[in-house]
Structure 1
Amino acid sequence: MRLPLLAAATAAALFLLAAPASAQTESEPACNAGDAEACFYTGAEYAQGMGVLEDKQKAVTYFLKACDGGIPDGCSTSGVLIRAGEGNLEKDVIKGVEYQERACAMGHVDGCEWALGNRISATSEAYDLKKAIATARAGCEAGVEKACSWGRNWSWDGSKGKYPDMINMIDAGWFAERDCAKGDIMGCYIAEQAYANPESVAFDAAKGLKYSLINCNDKGNEGSCRNVGGVYLDIGEEKLGTEYMRKACGMGHEEACIVAADWERYLAEVAARDARIAARDKAINDLVSAGRYGDAVATALHQLGSKEHAQKAALAARSAGAMGQIQTADLYALALWFPSGSVRAAADAEMSARGTGLEGTFGTGTNEPGMADARWKDLYGSSAPRYSSSSSAPSAPQSSVLSASDAAAQTREKYRWAHCTMKGSNQSAAVCQ
C-alpha cells in the first residue's frame, strides 16, 4: 500500500503545483465520506501543498484518520513528521515513535525499523528496551520477518552481548518458534534450547521434544538426536531411545555411540531372555494342552528348573484331576520347592492318597538346612532338583540424562506426557499405559 500511495501523491503534486490554493484538497471530500485511503491522499496533499496551503498539522490529522482506518502508511508517515517536528508541528520523538509502532503492528516494515531503531538507541528520547520487545512481538505477529529475527536475537543473547538486559528465554522461545515455522535453522535451534532445557525458565517438555525432533529429523543436528534419545530412554521408551542414540552416533556424536552400544547390548539380552521364556512357556503349554500333566511337571522340575512353570503344571494337573500322572519323586520335589500354599497342599494330598507316609516332611517340620537334600539322596541317589527364576531381567545401562531428584522425576513425567500426547498418537506405547 505505501509505495502506490506515495507514488500517487507525487503524481498529484506534479499536476497541481501551478494550481491556485483552494479551500480543500481533491481527495478531502472522499476522506470526509469515510474513505480511509482518500484520507491518506488528503494528508499527502496538505503535507506538500498540493492545491492548498502547506499545513503539516492538518496533514497529520488526515494521516491519522487513514491510520485509524487501517492504512499503515498513515500511522508511519505521521510518525516521521512528528518525530522530526516538520513545518508547523512540534517535535515529539516519543509520540512519533508510538505512531510508527502502530504501523509496525499492522505489518509495515519501515514502521518496525524506525520504531525499533529508536527503542534500542540509548541516544533516542524514545529509548525503551521493554517496549522494543513488545513492538518486535507485535511486528512479528503481523508478519514482519525482521521483527521476529531481531526480537529473537535480542532475547536469546542480547544480540551477541550488545543488549544484555534484553536476554529473556521466554521471549527468545516465543520469537524462535515463529522463525522455526518459516524454516529458519537458528530459530529451530533456539526454540529447542529455550524449551528443552529443564533448567530454563521457559522449559516446556512438549515444545522441547517437538523442536528437538525437528532439529534431529529435519535439520540433521547430532546433539538434538542425542537429546531425543536421552529423553526416550529416561521415560522408558528404550528401543526408540536407542534408535535415536544410534542416529546421533551416525552423525558423529561419540558419546551417543557408547550409549547406543550399551543399550543395544541390553536390548539383545532382553530379547534373548524373552525368547527363552517364550520357549519354556510353549513347552509346558503344549504338554498341558495334550493332557500330559505328569510330563509337564517333570519338564518344569528337571529340564527347566522353573518354579513358576512347576506351579503352573501342578495346578493344571490338580484342576484336571490328573495328579495321579505325577511321579512320586516329582511329588516329593514339589513338596520341597513349595513349603506352603496350593501346590504343597495338592502334593501332600496326592502322597497321602498313595499311602507314602511322607506327606509334609519336605520343606517343613524338622527340616534343618541340608536334611531334605540328604533324604532325597537316600531315596534317589542324587541331589534334589533346584529351581531358578526364569524372569530375572538383565541390568539396564545407566545412561539417564536426568538425576534421581524429585525435580528430575517431575521433568521425566512431563516428558512422558509430552510423548504420549504428541501428534501421531503414541498412546499405545507401553510407557503411556
Structure 2
Amino acid sequence: NCIIAASDYYLDDDGKKAADLYQKACEFGHPDGCKWAGWLYMTGFGVDSDYVRAIKFYDVACKADDLEACVNIGFMFENGAGVDQSYSAARDIYHLACERGALQGCNNLGYFYQEGRGVEKDIRKAKSLYEKSCNDEAVWGCNNLGGLYYKGLGVERDIQKMLHYNKMACDRDLTIGCDALGAIYLHGRGVPIDYQRALEYFQKSCSNNSMLGCSFLATMYASGQGVTKNLKKGLKLLTRACEHGSNLGCNLLKVHLANEKAQ
C-alpha cells in the first residue's frame, strides 16, 4: 500500500510525499521502496539531492537482490556521487549485476571495455556485452552497438547495421537512438539525404523531451528542410531547448535571431 500511494504521489509530481512513503516501505522490508527512495534522493526529485542517503537506500535494495539498485550503485561509483570515484569498484558491481542477469549492467560494463575504464580496452568484449544487453530491458546496448558499427570500432563499418540497432533503440523510446537516426538522414552520412525520415525521428525524440532532437527539429522548420518553412515554430522549439539547458539550442537560437534582425 505504501508503494502504491508513493507511486501516486510521484505521478502527481509530489516527490517529498513519495520519498516519505517509499522510505516507509523500505523500513517495512520492501526492496522497491528502498530503490525508489534512493532514486529520488539521487535525482533530487521533490527532495534535496543527497547522494550519501541515496546510496544507503540502494545498498539495502541491492542486498535484497534488486539488481537495478546494484547497477545504480555502480553508476554512483563511476561518477563519484556520494562515494569516492572508483572505476574498479563500478566495474566489479556492473560485472556482478551482469552475471546475475541485469542487462543494463552488461551494457555499462561493455562501455567500460570500449573506453578502457578500470579494465584494459577491449572492443571485442564490449561488442559481446552490448549484444547481450540489446533487448527490451536494456536498449542502451542496442544504441551502443549501433555506434560501434557506425564508427567501425572492432567491426567493419556498416551503416545498415547501425541503422538496424539504432532503430531498435529508437523504437523503444531511447531518444539518443532517434537523434542519431535523424542526424544520419538529415546530413546524408552514409545514406541518401531523407528529410522526411529525419523529421519523423526528430519529432519523436523531441516529443520524448530530447532537447537535442528539438534543436535539430527547430533548424528544419527554421530553414524549411523537408517541411514548410516556419521560423516562428523553429524559434519556439529552440527557446524550449535553450531553457532546458541545451547549449546547441541556445547557440542556434542566437544565430537565427541575429539573422532575423539582420533581415
TM range (shorter): 0.3 to 0.5
In terms of fraction of residues, the more helix-rich structure is 2
State the structure with bigger RCO (CA 8 A, min sep 6), 1 or 2. 1
* Structure of larger gyration radius: 1
TM-score computed with the length of structure 2 as normaliser? 0.44
